[in-house]
């Protein structure tokens, strides 16, 4: 690996692949699909060089399950896909939640539903990423709006997956995945890397799903600890249970290990005026549109604009946005939410806003990245 | 639409003319060696084979946000189809560069560079495949953010020894076309 900063021209997909490698990913199983294929392509070249394994699977069900299996063996694992494959992976994602196996899934969103628009961007999988798998579970979902963010967010995805023993989804879109941008990647040695903990007790005393720990210490298979893994609700030894107390303890723990750590997991980035007349909310490639639109607003108008980039889509950053709305509500006339779907984040903002500020939206679902003029018009439609 | 210093280039023609590779080399040269920011993107899908295909490069000394071209500062067209399809995206004072090997009906435009790039590649280099590189040499004489030496360094990074000489010659040949 490189031992200094790396100046490169990279695609978002390639940056995801490099971020995964630098985070310690040593296993990839996937079924190539546009617009995510370059992630698999890059890792098929790079993983063997660092002693990792690359498998092209028969489909996406096999892909996610192979990753869960590799994770149980102690390998940091990645799969990448797009909408149609992401739908197929939902069962496996639920299984990873229930068995608490860390795994990272990059879903490069393309136009849907069904096979939809293979080469065109969309953001229609935001709610599917949260609720696509059945049953009450929490899930961590990160976004990225630039090539550099693809790299750093993938590193973060692995860290969060290891720390909370849970699947983490990187939700990016075709524009960010395919565009090439010049970036400076850090020396991999300078990254903060989190690895899962290993049991220290004698195997006879080992309780894999001990509810005393918010995040259980799971042994790697082959490490000398015998335990049972199942998608059925299980007791602290991993065996199926329907005992109400045990079910409650388990369900509460796997949800709380995420919901009680939102301060650590949730991130937003606020750019622009501290006293905005208008607040814009965006994520993914629409963030780039919003920034371009705001440049034009600054040239021609005296409006102050604030811009929020949502870096953690799930758990939705309720507290951070709640505080932000309180902070800006004196000057702010409205919040503009722009996304390439029919309001999947809009509804979350509406819930958090609780009527404090008027909401305005620009939704576009036509296979094209939203143009700056569309957001420009929304912003400048405000009377100061 | 912007008074910022972004410079929008679209390389257009037919699938197989090496336009995406040319776009990547252009973006690498101007960013990794030129010190500017660059974003490169392309059209995917069925239209990438035959028909009009395109690669876009946006270069700027400033941070680049919107990654797609809006009003072109420069349009390179290696086919009549592409020229017809994309000419209307060119700014009034933008630069049109056409390969007259294929573009016979050149739009009436103030700033035009018209050369038979493919024919020159075949006649002088013996290979049509270096047409894309030859065009990049020409762009280095036209676009202030693109320098010939930076393109040469990029080719040296990317190409194996046995292909390098031919491609460097193609760059010089293209550059020589622009007075």
Distance CA A177, CA B85 (A): 26
CATH architecture designation of domain A6-190: 3-Layer(aba) Sandwich (3.40)
Question: Could you report the predicted ipTM of this complex, rounded to two decimals?
Answer: 0.94
Helix (H, G, I), strand (E, B) or coil at A129: helix
Phi-psi region of A279 (alpha: psi -120 to 50; beta: other; left: phi over 0): beta
Instruction: Examine the pLDDT at A384 and tell me if it is beyond 80.
Output: no
Q: To the nearest whole number, what is the mean pLDDT of chain A?
A: 96
**Where do the H-state alpha helices sit in chain A?**
12-23, 37-46, 60-72, 83-99, 126-131, 147-164, 174-178, 244-259, 262-265, 286-300, 318-328, 346-353, 372-380
Neighbour tally for A353: CB within 10 Å: 17
Helix (H, G, I), strand (E, B) or coil at A7: strand
Question: Contact B44/A35, CB-based, under 8 Å?
Answer: yes
CATH of residue B148's domain is 3.40.920.10
pLDDT band of B49, cuts 50, 70, 90 = low
Q: What is the pLDDT of residue B50?
A: 60
Residue of A182, A285, A292 lying closest to B37 (CB–CB): A182
Kindly report the length of chain A.
384
Shared fold status for A6-190 and A270-380: yes
Question: Contact B66/A9, CB-based, under 8 Å?
Answer: no
Q: To the nearest whole number, what is the mean pLDDT of chain B?
A: 93
Q: What is the DSSP letter of A213?
A: S
Cβ atoms of B108 and B41 closer than 8 Å: no
Full-model pTM: 0.96
B141 occurs within a structural domain: yes
Q: How close B62 comes to chain A (CA, Å)?
A: 12
Which numeric CATH code is attached to A270-380? 3.40.50.920
Q: Which two tokens stand for residue B69?
A: 């071209």
Q: What is the DSSP letter of A234?
A: B
Cβ atoms of A159 and A265 closer than 8 Å: no
Query: What does the pLDDT look like over B55-90, one tens digit per residue?
Result: 999 999 999 999 999 999 999 999 999 999 999 999
B28 occurs within a structural domain: yes
**For residue B121, what are the domain limits?**
7-177
Query: What does the pLDDT look like over A358-371, one tens digit per residue?
Result: 999 999 999 999 99
B2 occurs within a structural domain: no
Chain A neighbors of B70, CB-CB under 8 A: 371-372
Question: Contact A9/B28, CB-based, under 8 Å?
Answer: yes
Distance of CA B23 to the CA centre of its chain: 6
Cβ atoms of A345 and A318 closer than 8 Å: no
Share of chain A above pLDDT 90, in %: 97
Scanning every residue of chain B, which has its alpha carbon at the shortest distance from the alpha carbon of A296?
Answer: B2
Let me know if B77 is exposed, middle or buried by CB neighbors in 10 A (0-12, 13-18, 19+): buried
Q: What is the pLDDT of residue B46?
A: 54
Distance CA B124, CA A13 (A): 39
Question: Contact A371/B31, CB-based, under 8 Å?
Answer: no
Cβ atoms of B30 and B23 closer than 8 Å: no
Q: Which two tokens stand for residue A306?
A: 């604030």
More confident residue, A331 or B44: A331
pLDDT band of A2, cuts 50, 70, 90 = very low
Phi, psi of B60 (to 5 degrees): -160, 145
Distance CA B53, CA B98 (A): 15
Phi-psi region of A125 (alpha: psi -120 to 50; beta: other; left: phi over 0): alpha
Sheet bearing A6-11, strands edge to edge: A6-11, A180-185, B37-42, B53-60, B7-13, B72-77, B90-99, B112-115
Question: Contact A369/B31, CB-based, under 8 Å?
Answer: no
Residue of B24, B65, B66 lying closest to A180 (CB–CB): B24
Instruction: Examine the pLDDT at B5 and tell me if it is beyond 50.
Output: yes
Distance CA A340, CA A117 (A): 13
Instruction: Examine the pLDDT at B1 and tell me if it is beyond 60.
Output: no
Chain B neighbors of A296, CB-CB under 8 A: 1-2
Q: What is the DSSP letter of A49?
A: G
B29-33, long-range: CB within 8 Å, 24+ apart, which pairs? B29/B146, B29/B147, B29/B150, B29/B151, B29/B153, B29/B154, B30/B57, B30/B59, B30/B145, B30/B146, B30/B150, B31/A9, B31/A182, B31/B59, B32/A7, B32/A8, B32/A9, B32/A182, B32/B154, B33/B147, B33/B149, B33/B150, B33/B153, B33/B154
Share of chain A above pLDDT 70, in %: 98
Instruction: Examine the pLDDT at A117 and tell me if it is beyond 90.
Output: yes
Task: Give kind and range of the element (H or E) at residue A104.
Answer: strand A103-111
Question: Contact B45/A372, CB-based, under 8 Å?
Answer: no
**Going by C-beta distance under 8 Å and a sequence separation of 6 or more, which residues neighbour residue A349?**
A281, A321, A335, A337, A359
B120 occurs within a structural domain: yes
Q: What is the DSSP letter of A35?
A: T
Distance CA A373, CA A104 (A): 36
Helix (H, G, I), strand (E, B) or coil at A317: coil
Give the number of A-B residue pairs with CB atoms closer than 8 Å: 67
B1 occurs within a structural domain: no
Q: What is the DSSP letter of A224?
A: S
Mutate to test the interface with B, among A9, A37, A375 (most CBs of B within 10 A): A9
Instruction: Examine the pLDDT at B51 and tell me if it is beyond 80.
Output: no
| Chain B residues within 8 angstroms (CB to CB) of chain A | 1-4, 24, 27-28, 31-32, 37-45, 64-68, 70
3-state secondary structure chain B: CCCCCCEEEEEEECCCCCHHHHHHHHHHHHHHHCCCEEEEEECCCHHHCCCCEEEEEEEECCCCCCCCCCCEEEEEECCHHHHHHHHHHEEEEEEEEEECCCCCCCCCCCCEEEECHHHHHHHHHCCHHHHHHHHHHHHHCCCCCCCHHHHHHHHHHHCCHHHHHHHHHHHHHHHHHCC
Query: What does the pLDDT look like over A248-304, one tens digit per residue?
Result: 999 999 999 999 999 999 999 999 999 999 999 999 999 999 999 999 999 999 999
Cβ atoms of A370 and A152 closer than 8 Å: no
Average pLDDT over residues B5-28: 95
Question: Contact A371/B2, CB-based, under 8 Å?
Answer: no
| Residue extents of the structural domains in chain A | 6-190, 270-380
Interhelix angle for A372-380 vs A286-300, to 10°?
50
Q: What is the DSSP letter of A306?
A: E
Instruction: Examine the pLDDT at B48 and tell me if it is beyond 60.
Output: no
Total domains present in chain B: 1
Q: What is the pLDDT of residue A1?
A: 46
B107 occurs within a structural domain: yes
Chain B neighbors of A288, CB-CB under 8 A: 65-67
Instruction: Examine the pLDDT at B45 and tell me if it is beyond 60.
Output: no
Distance CA A247, CA A278 (A): 47
Let me know if A224 is exposed, middle or buried by CB neighbors in 10 A (0-12, 13-18, 19+): exposed
Question: Contact A369/B67, CB-based, under 8 Å?
Answer: yes
Question: Contact B32/A7, CB-based, under 8 Å?
Answer: yes
Instruction: Examine the pLDDT at B52 and tell me if it is beyond 80.
Output: no
B88-122: burial string, b at 16+ Cβ within 10 Å, e else: ebbeeebbbbbbebbbeeeeebeeebebbbbebbb
């Amino acid at each position: 690996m490189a031992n200094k900063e790396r100046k490169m021209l990279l695609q978002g997909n390639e940056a995801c692949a490099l971020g995964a490698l630098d985070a310690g990913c040593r296993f990839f199983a996937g079924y190539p699909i546009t617009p995510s294929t370059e992630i698999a392509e890059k890792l098929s070249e790079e993983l063997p060089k660092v002693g990792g394994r690359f498998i092209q699977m028969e489909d996406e069900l096999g892909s996610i399950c192979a990753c869960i299996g590799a994770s149980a063996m102690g390998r940091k694992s990645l799969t990448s896909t797009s909408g149609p494959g992401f739908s197929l992976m939902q069962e496996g994602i639920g299984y990873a939640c229930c068995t608490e196996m860390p795994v990272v899934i990059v879903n490069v969103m393309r136009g849907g539903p069904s096979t939809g628009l293979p080469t065109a961007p969309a953001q229609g999988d935001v709610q599917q990423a949260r609720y696509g798998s059945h049953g009450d579970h929490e899930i961590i979902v990160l976004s990225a709006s630039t090539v550099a963010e693809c790299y750093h967010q993938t590193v973060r995805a692995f860290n969060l997956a290891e720390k909370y023993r849970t699947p983490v989804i990187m939700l990016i879109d075709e524009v960010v995945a395919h565009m090439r941008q010049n970036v400076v990647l850090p020396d991999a040695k300078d990254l903060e890397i989190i690895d899962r903990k290993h049991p220290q007790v004698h195997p006879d005393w080992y309780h894999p799903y001990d509810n005393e720990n918010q995040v259980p210490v799971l042994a790697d298979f082959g490490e000398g600890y015998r335990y049972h893994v199942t998608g059925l609700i299980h007791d602290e030894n991993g065996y199926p249970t329907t005992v109400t107390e045990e079910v409650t303890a388990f369900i509460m723990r796997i949800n709380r290990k995420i919901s009680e750590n939102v301060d650590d997991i949730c991130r937003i980035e606020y750019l622009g005026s501290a006293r905005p007349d208008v607040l814009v909310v965006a994520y993914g490639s629409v963030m780039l549109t919003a920034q371009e639109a705001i440049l034009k607003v600054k040239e021609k108008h005296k409006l102050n604009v604030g811009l929020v980039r949502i870096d953690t889509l799930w758990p939705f950053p309720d507290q951070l946005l709640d505080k932000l709305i309180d902070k800006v509500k004196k000057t702010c006339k409205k919040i503009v939410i722009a996304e390439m779907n029919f309001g999947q984040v809009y509804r979350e903002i509406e819930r958090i806003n609780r009527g404090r500020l008027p909401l305005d939206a620009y939704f576009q679902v036509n296979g094209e990245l939203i143009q700056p003029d569309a957001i420009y018009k929304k912003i400048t439609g405000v009377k100061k | 639409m912007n008074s910022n210093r972004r410079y929008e280039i679209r390389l257009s023609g037919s699938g197989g003319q090496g336009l995406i590779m040319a776009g990547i080399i252009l973006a690498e040269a101007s960013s990794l060696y030129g010190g500017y920011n660059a974003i490169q993107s392309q059209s995917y899908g069925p239209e990438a084979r035959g028909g009009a295909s395109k690669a876009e490069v946006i270069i700027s000394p400033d941070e680049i946000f919107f990654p797609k071209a809006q009003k072109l500062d420069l349009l390179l067209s290696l086919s009549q189809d592409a020229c017809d399809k994309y000419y209307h995206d060119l700014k009034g004072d933008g630069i049109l560069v056409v390969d007259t090997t294929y573009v016979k009906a050149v739009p009436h435009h103030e700033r035009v560079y018209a050369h038979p790039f493919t024919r020159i590649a075949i006649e002088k280099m013996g290979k049509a495949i270096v047409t894309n590189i030859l065009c990049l040499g020409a762009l280095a004489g036209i676009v202030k953010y693109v320098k010939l030496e930076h393109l040469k360094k990029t080719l040296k990074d990317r190409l194996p020894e046995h292909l390098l000489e031919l491609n460097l010659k193609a760059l010089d040949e293209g550059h020589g076309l622009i007075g």
